[in-house]
């Protein structure tokens, strides 16, 4: 049985132990990142969001066991999960079309969780590999894989999972707002700022739905 079908929500002693170790590791890595690199925890809100993506994503991967299944079922589930990850990566901005100038690889020292981000600008593709997005999307894809194998709750949770990239829709809204009301308007600024709040909230809800599957019982 997969851990995602556990009957209770009360954490076990083992869960608390692993959770504490994971939290301590992330805190130490964050301190090292701030002390020894150009990264900063400012703005603090975005740092908290980035660390939440990493912590929750890693916890979901470590605590989810896939139920026994045949090879055919696992191949189908893997195909669904792979397609799901690609959709998230493209919609979430990890992968994009190339710009006009190919500058190669560089490191972006963003706030912890979002950085250090590996950025690649090539002639045919651009990559922005932020740890929070990579870990978060891998976790969602893995949870979808486990869900499809278990054949429970995939439709509801999977569709909601796609909304975890809601952050990509807000820059579009911001662009429309700046075109109508002029650049720098409060409406455009609010749309852009709220993208991280909304995408983080939907990500957390999606992980919870895919892990506990309240609609799949």
The pLDDT value recorded for residue 130 is 92
In a domain, 171, yes or no: yes
In a domain, 217, yes or no: no
Distances (CA, A) of 129 to 12, 113, 152: 34, 11, 31
Percent of the chain scoring above 70 in pLDDT: 70
In a domain, 191, yes or no: yes
In a domain, 154, yes or no: yes
Express each pLDDT in 146-179 by its tens digit: 888 876 444 445 445 444 554 444 444 544 454 5
Mean pLDDT (whole number) for 90-110: 80
How many helical (H) and strand (E) elements, i.e. helices and strands, does the chain have? 7, 4
pLDDT band at 110 (very low <50, low <70, confident <90, very high): confident
In a domain, 144, yes or no: yes
Express each pLDDT in 6-33 by its tens digit: 444 566 777 778 778 878 888 888 888 8
What is the domain extent for residue 7?
3-212
Q: Which two tokens stand for residue 207?
A: 């992980």
- 195/185 Cα distance (integer angstroms): 16
In a domain, 102, yes or no: yes
Number of domains in the chain: 1
> Strand locations in 9-130, DSSP E?
95-97, 104-108, 117-121, 125-129
Q: Which two tokens stand for residue 53?
A: 């993506």
In a domain, 61, yes or no: yes
Contacts of 201 (CB under 8 A, 6+ apart): none
Higher pLDDT, 101 or 192: 101
The 125-129 sheet, strands edge to edge? 95-97, 125-129, 117-121, 104-108
The pLDDT value recorded for residue 3 is 45
In a domain, 185, yes or no: yes
Contacts of 169 (CB under 8 A, 6+ apart): none
């Amino acid at each position: 049985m997969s851990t995602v079908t556990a009957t209770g929500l009360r954490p076990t002693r083992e869960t608390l132990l692993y959770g504490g170790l994971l939290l301590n590791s992330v805190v130490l890595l964050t301190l090292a990142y701030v002390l020894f690199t150009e990264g900063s925890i400012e703005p603090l809100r975005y740092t908290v969001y980035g660390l939440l993506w990493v912590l929750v994503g890693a916890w979901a991967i470590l605590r989810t066991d896939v139920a026994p299944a045949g090879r055919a079922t696992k191949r189908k589930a893997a195909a669904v999960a792979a397609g799901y990850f690609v959709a998230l990566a493209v919609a979430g901005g990890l992968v994009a079309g190339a710009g006009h100038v190919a500058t190669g690889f560089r490191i972006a020292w963003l706030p912890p969780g979002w950085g250090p981000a590996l950025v690649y600008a090539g002639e045919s593709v651009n990559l922005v590999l932020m740890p929070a997005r990579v870990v978060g999307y891998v976790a969602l894809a893995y949870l979808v894989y486990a869900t499809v194998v278990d054949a429970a709750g995939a439709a509801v949770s999977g569709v909601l999972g796609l909304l975890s990239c809601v952050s990509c829709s807000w820059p579009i809204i911001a662009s429309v707002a700046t075109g109508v009301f002029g650049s720098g308007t409060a409406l455009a600024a609010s749309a852009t700022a709220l993208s991280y709040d909304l995408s983080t909230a939907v990500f957390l809800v999606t992980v919870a739905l895919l892990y506990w599957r309240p609609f799949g019982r």
